[in-house]
Structure 1
């Protein structure tokens, strides 16, 4: 059962079978976009604060109906995202967004969050690119202290912009590697342009010790995943689910241990797959491809991290042992320090070793 952001958590029972609560399963969250992490209620309050008119799709209290498999649909999705982003105008707004995103993650069992942001999107209202980056990292530090979750930042370039802009961002990301930036990504519609146009930006990032984690294999097919590997040196792939269409590519991902940041609810909401059962979680899992389930943009897709694990359980029959392995894969795919990883892995084992709750009480 998927839930709206900030709403009820996924229940911990499948039919009449007693199962463990996925919101208590320790996990790492590796695919969450900055503006998209916002609570719907926060968006409404910030829009009122700054005098931003929200379309019905963002103010109606339910996730918008989206389908981005054609150009018009993607444009609508991007327009809604841009409107939501325009409500983040002050350092206080940024601090609130990150704090609340961390609180939501904590409630879902996340112990480690790597949040993705393009600081150029916020720079005009925050005094420039460097001030925006400083504000974001200060907010991350504060939220991490307040919630106890380890939080790091992945700076993402926009493939709809010029590759020279991506190089500027890569240099900025490297500059702040000692302040909590752990990776460099490439987002937006992978059907546009070529991954190789951004190879220099990724080389800058990798030379600076950053993780390479571009988007691929969502709106475009397995070829876009291969491009991420061959042209950008990807160590993780944002989404990557379309790799399921190419057995040789699956084998390559498995052999290299490249983690795919799979976002099941997002895939269905955008029309990549028609229904949750169609998302090829089983195909990737059985092929040995590491996965880290992610919520992508809860503001627009209507569900957060624990709901993705619940989807794997309900729609794909993942057992508690398999869900624990998915959580382990998310930890191994993260840039968490070794001691943090060890602690999380031990707590995952403890979750799985704990007694299964009793059967649901009979209704009468």
Structure 2
């Protein structure tokens, strides 16, 4: 067991963290039918496109501030139970707007749940606002403008997720310029569904502080060296990568090679119940399947806190807990 590890997570989509049991209760509350996407207590999908459909169906049963407060509190307390001290939640106001919940109310609900979790368990958390790539550049730019003017103490970063195969990185650069100018931390999904070029384009055009996934950088040795030289942190999600078929199994996953080449890596769960994983399971995989030492894994956690989108006083307090 990895309970003895203090843990930190930089890459988890809040709707994607909804336990199936909670999603079913929410569906019952609203008289919604999500039975096509939940079977025997697990989410049902078979490729990235159907995963997005399943994800959207689950998201659709969270419709109020209190729904989102409950979701954030539930996930953060689950993390705290496995000795997690810090979590960054990827949040997409687009999901709230789809069900008629304003962006401000969506953020307020999540913040309430985050505050409740901290009061109950001491876990520190922040929000990173997501622009959905497959909704197009205008929508991503609109979300960056919203994040830039929000000025919420728990919203500290900006990210782009969604289908990496849609559009060019250059189409979205303006959104990241807006977020950078507002002082937000920048991360972007790249090098997951698309190859090493996606990571290179992101480094060239976005200049992010971190890369979400980034694992297909392994296809380009020069790019791996560039990541090591620049100290760019990768938010690696091994369980997600296997579930989505990015790599066939853990033995072929490049986490260890990236680590040995000097790339800064962290452990994350992405959309845990959708991928039959959890942050604790990711630490277990690193320890018992990939053979990382306790010292190595603790170093990854330290990297996560050093790369977290928090003020320096908060960072100092988190590092002190290690």
Q: TM-score range by the shorter chain?
A: over 0.9
Q: What residue is the counterpart of 2:40 in the other structure?
A: 60
TM-score (norm 1): 0.84
The 1:193–1:53 alpha-carbon spacing in structure 2 relative to 1, beyond 3 Å, is same
**Quick check: 1:90 aligned with 2:70?**
no
Q: Can you give the 5+ residue segments of structure 2 that lack an aligned partner in the other structure?
A: none
CA–CA separation in structure 2 for the residues paired with 1:177 and 1:144: 20
Post-superposition offset of 1:64: 3.4
CA–CA separation in structure 1 for the residues paired with 2:241 and 2:104: 33
- Write the mapping of 1:134-145 to structure 2, written as runs, cut at 5 A: 134-145=108-119
Q: Secondary structure at the match of 1:24?
A: coil
**Quick check: 1:78 aligned with 2:78?**
no
Q: Deviations over 1:247-269 (max 9, x none)?
A: 11111111211111000000000
Q: Can you give the 5+ residue segments of structure 1 that lack an aligned partner in the other structure?
A: 1-11, 13-21, 67-72, 349-364
**Quick check: 1:274 aligned with 2:248?**
yes
Q: Deviations over 1:198-222 (max 9, x none)?
A: 1111000000001110100001111
TM-score (norm 2): 0.95
CA contact (8 A) 1:276 1:315 kept: yes
CA contact (8 A) 2:64 2:106 kept: no
Post-superposition offset of 1:145: 2.7
CA contact (8 A) 1:91 1:126 kept: no
Q: What residue is the counterpart of 1:99 in the other structure?
A: 73
Q: What residue is the counterpart of 1:27 in the other structure?
A: 7
CA–CA separation in structure 2 for the residues paired with 1:298 and 1:283: 24
CA–CA separation in structure 1 for the residues paired with 2:260 and 2:167: 32
Post-superposition offset of 1:55: 3.0
Q: What residue is the counterpart of 1:338 in the other structure?
A: 312
Post-superposition offset of 1:274: 0.9
**Quick check: 1:216 aligned with 2:190?**
yes
Post-superposition offset of 1:133: 2.9
- Write the mapping of 1:1-364 to structure 2, written as runs, cut at 5 A: 12=1, 22-64=2-44, 66=46, 73-348=47-322
CA–CA separation in structure 2 for the residues paired with 1:63 and 1:178: 33
CA contact (8 A) 1:177 1:210 kept: no
Larger Rg: 1
Post-superposition offset of 1:85: 0.5
CA contact (8 A) 1:26 1:344 kept: no
Q: Secondary structure at the match of 1:49?
A: helix
Post-superposition offset of 1:65: 5.5
CA contact (8 A) 1:123 1:131 kept: no
CA contact (8 A) 1:32 1:294 kept: yes
Post-superposition offset of 1:56: 4.6
CA contact (8 A) 1:126 1:132 kept: no
Q: Secondary structure at the match of 2:246?
A: coil
Instruction: Using the TM superposition, name which of 319-328 and 49-58 deviates more.
Output: 49-58
CA–CA separation in structure 1 for the residues paired with 2:43 and 2:99: 27
Could you say what the CA RMSD is over the residues aligned between the two structures, in angstroms? 1.7
Q: Deviations over 1:9-51 (max 9, x none)?
A: xxx2xxxxxxxxx223122210000111111211111111111
CA–CA separation in structure 2 for the residues paired with 1:127 and 1:300: 24
Size of the aligned set, in residue pairs, is 322
